[in-house]
Structure 1
């Protein structure tokens, strides 16, 4: 059933009315509202269950951007101890004033005082996409504000700017269709711009030629370049659908002008979910994950193809038949760029590549090993390089969509062995931790090391 102008007006009116509703009225509206195709009734969250914060002040903290199992409750940021002696101790949580956002990616500002998380499905309730938190007191985060772009939605990857603020990819247009944008935000959570801009004619023509659904994001601030990778058209994952529209491209940008230099194609890539520069690589090489192919490609942004276009893509490693069409392949690097960790979501597996020799990558995991993870997705190497935080949840759209990946809803704290390989032993079970909210769906994390409180370290920027 399409969104008619009358229905849009009615939904907006209901949203305005519910904004001023008492908690009791909100609870009734949320429970009685009928399910709608595509859009959800934009009621505020029902009253959150009580919780008790801990006065513990561990040296290592995990911040987890989490959706409740019962999406009528508020989405929230959960904080846990990751110290060996108090591992898994709940510290506190912070609700945001909205629900049903499907919390997605999370990252930290360069000064370590602000977190921003994105909402994958915020559009369905006509809500903001970006959520900003103050962590100047790391043990008591505070929700600051939320915001949204004008031309785009479906927030994904986040990179912090050295001077403060963030770049964030938006995979879809303002309606969730093709033609997303790269968005830029200042240190106060205000939108600076969406790129390509409406007056950027060459950039606009570029994204009209091929599907532009930027998900992955990598920036080399010293070399003045950006790489974004195109994944899927968000609306094509919602019912009714003729099939998920998957992209095969990356875009190379000039950072200083926020303009696209060229389009880089991975033939039949089937969704290029992630792209990251290899730390310390002299050629500014990056890796990109081709989901349908189950392959890792290497991108050389300063090399040229035979036709004179800038940006060369070469196959780096084929992860084998169990990695094909795994819906999602996300990555993280060790700080020195030697080890690459890859989550094969629907294969319930984390792969590890030793990239000491880029001409001959060595796989450290056993592809046939049954690992104790289900639906593992986001990965974070801890600041001390001793652990990998892997979250067992990707996306569950429910009846409205076609992406509902199995999950164990756990934060896995995996030991990294001296040779870069992994040893599984500890986890935090969000389903039982937040049973009074229908469980918890932790999609993304930021890891803080407060061993030196004056100089906190974080997993990545």
Structure 2
């Protein structure tokens, strides 16, 4: 949709009127918060001809809301006194969404693998638990809710894991301008950066959000006073899903996936993006937009650990391709940020709904989940000019709907979860799934050997099954120096 000067003025007026974030975050969180179940319909507040068209090109201005009822009483469970050295934390939705969403904890030790340790309910249901990550000090987990907006609930859920075997729900929060929580990166000094793929109403114009260590919102970016940044995200679809940060080089990469509202009925079709944004970390401002032509949803972006050029990989879902981004290289026109095709994953990878990734700690091996192809691909990136594929593209692997991936801290296993998203009757995305935690052995050459699983469908049958979307893996071999999956 073209951006006219009049539309630009209107959208800037909207941001100035409704944003509470400053260009550079304050050391203290903004004290202003939204009441428990109130997200304003700003299109009714600002009566401007053509404003709704700018806000969204889709028919309904807001998602189809669900009744914000509290969860039904959770079934009882018995926690284990076992204290394994390796733990898996799994951010999970129940098959019956009347029950609370929960964090499930399991042993990943060889001799007690799959032993249930405990679980923690959050005080809401129907969030569609999405991404999960751990703070740098190893004492806090935060999980996001993909569909929290549909019940006008908080989007971020924080857990205290000071006692790793008995996590506790601590608090929740939401942003002001944005919703639909996705990727999470921990800040070195505490707190998190989190992408929000949609606006407060689930439409285009999401945000990069920042939170402090206490789980309070610091800011949403681009901010109201960042006029160039606001014009940038109005010009090209801004639905940030992927997120990676090089704190040493002072840069951020976000990747744009889909407009969330476009995945809900009624819809004129899912709106997919072909873009990434390169940011200056210190100022939280966008340097430029990087385009992958025909990408059809750039779901994931990650800096390659240890790469001297700060190169990153990006997954182009419709193309079934992996691209490499060089953030400091210049294009022929002098603009910063070069995108090049790294590897085409072949016909089975095209249009697979989702491609997520994880690296080995040394950056050599890249693991990619091809969700609706029921497959995990492995690339050896020792030579970035000639990547070597280690899996057989035609192999029928024992996974269904595999999505999130985590390499364990000891680099011996890959934790792959067999569930992406099922929106039900209200949505267009309902991918097949096996609802299993797959604990896959990593061979010495980086390839995979499928071995053990934890079947959440039967483990939580009394909640209608379990839908584990994301994990954090802890290695407590040295209790004083716990290690986590994040590289």
TM range (shorter): over 0.9
CA drift at 1:308: 1.5
Separation in structure 2 between the aligned mates of residue 134 and residue 390 of structure 1, nearest angstrom:
24
Tell me the CA shift for residue 306 of structure 1: 1.1
- Hey, what does 2:264 align to over in structure 1? 238
Equivalent residues of 1:14, 1:42 under 8 A apart: no
Structure 1 residues not aligned, in runs of 5+? 1-11, 17-35
What is aligned with 2:443?
A: 417
SS at match of 1:58: coil
Q: 1:47 aligns with which of 63, 73, 77?
A: 73
Counterpart residue number, 2:249: 223
Task: Give the unaligned 5+ runs of structure 2.
Answer: 1-33, 39-61
TM normalised by structure 2 equals 0.87
Q: Contact 2:87–2:105 (CA<8 Å) still a contact in 1?
A: yes
Matched, 1:151 2:177: yes
Deviations 1:7-51 (A, max 9, x none): xxxxx99969xxxxxxxxxxxxxxxxxxx9710000010000000
Using the TM superposition, give the Cα deviation of residue 307 of structure 1 relative to its aligned residue in structure 2, in angstroms: 1.4
CA RMSD of aligned residues (A): 1.4
- Residue 120 of structure 1: aligned partner: 146
Matched, 1:330 2:341: no
User: Is the contact made by 2:273 and 2:295 (CA closer than 8 Å) also made in structure 1?
Assistant: yes
Q: Deviations over 1:301-330 (max 9, x none)?
A: 000111121100000000000000000000
Q: 1:414, 1:425 within 8 Å by CA — same for their partners in 2?
A: yes
**Matches of residues 369-408 of structure 1 in structure 2 within 5 Å?**
369-408=395-434
CA offsets per residue over residues 127-177 of structure 1, 9 Å max, x none? Answer: 000000000000000000000000000000000000000000000000000
Q: Distance in 2 between matches of 1:346 and 1:460?
A: 26
Q: Does 1:288 align with 2:314?
A: yes
- Residue 30 of structure 2: aligned partner: none
User: Do the aligned partners of 1:67 and 1:74 also contact (CA within 8 Å) in 2?
Assistant: yes
Task: Find the counterpart in structure 2 of residue 20 from structure 1.
Answer: none
Q: Deviations over 1:190-224 (max 9, x none)?
A: 00000000110000011111000000000000000
Task: State the alpha-carbon separation in 2 of the partners of residues 211 and 445 from structure 1.
Answer: 29
Distance 1:90 1:48 in 2: 17
In structure 2, which of residues 184, 189, 196 is the aligned counterpart of residue 170 of structure 1?
196
* 1:302-341 superposed matches below 5 A: 302-341=328-367
Match of 1:217, SS?
strand
Distance (whole Å) between structure 1 residues aligned to residue 429 and residue 100 of structure 2: 22
1:86 paired with 2:137, answer no
The alpha carbon displacement at 1:289 in A equals: 0.1
1:251 to 269, 277, 281: 277
Preserved CA contact (<8 Å) 2:63 2:150: no
Structure 1 ranges of 4+ moved more than 4 A: 12-16
Residue aligned with 2:153, SS: coil
Tell me how far apart the structure 2 counterparts of residues 266 and 393 of structure 1 sit (CA, whole Å): 27
**Separation in 2, partners of 1:14, 1:349:** 41
Distance in 2 (CA, whole Å) between partners of 1:38 and 1:448 is 38
Structure-2 separation of matches of 1:306 and 1:259: 23
Asked if structure 2 preserves the Cα contact closer than 8 Å seen for 1:15 and 1:43, the reply is no
Q: Give, in whole Å, the separation in 2 of the partners of 1:268 and 1:308.
A: 23
Give me the whole-angstrom Cα distance separating, in 1, the residues matched to 2:37 and 2:153.
Answer: 10
SS of equivalent residue, structure 2 residue 262 = helix
Match of 1:203 among 207, 229, 250: 229
Match of 2:210 among 162, 184, 187: 184
* Separation (CA, whole Å) in 1 of partners of 2:378 and 2:297: 21
Alignment CA distance shift 1:58-1:194 (3 Å): same
Q: Aligned partners of 1:193, 1:13: CA distance in 2, in Å?
A: 18
Distance across 2 between alignment mates of 1:69 and 1:458? 28
Quickly say closer, same or farther: Cα 1:126–1:422, change in 2 above 3 A.
Answer: same
Partners of 1:130 and 1:99 lie apart in 2 by: 13
* Shift of residue 108, structure 1, vs aligned partner: 0.1
- The question of 1:101 aligning with 2:127 is answered yes
Secondary structure at the aligned position of 1:66 is classed as strand
Contact map agreement 1:66 1:444 (CA 8 A) in 2: yes
Counterpart-to-counterpart distance in 1, 2:403 and 2:74: 27
Question: Quick check: 1:69 aligned with 2:95?
Answer: yes
TM-score by length of 1: 0.92
Q: 2:371 corresponds to which residue?
A: 345
Distance between the aligned counterparts of 2:382 and 2:334, measured in 1?
30
The total of aligned residue pairs comes to 431
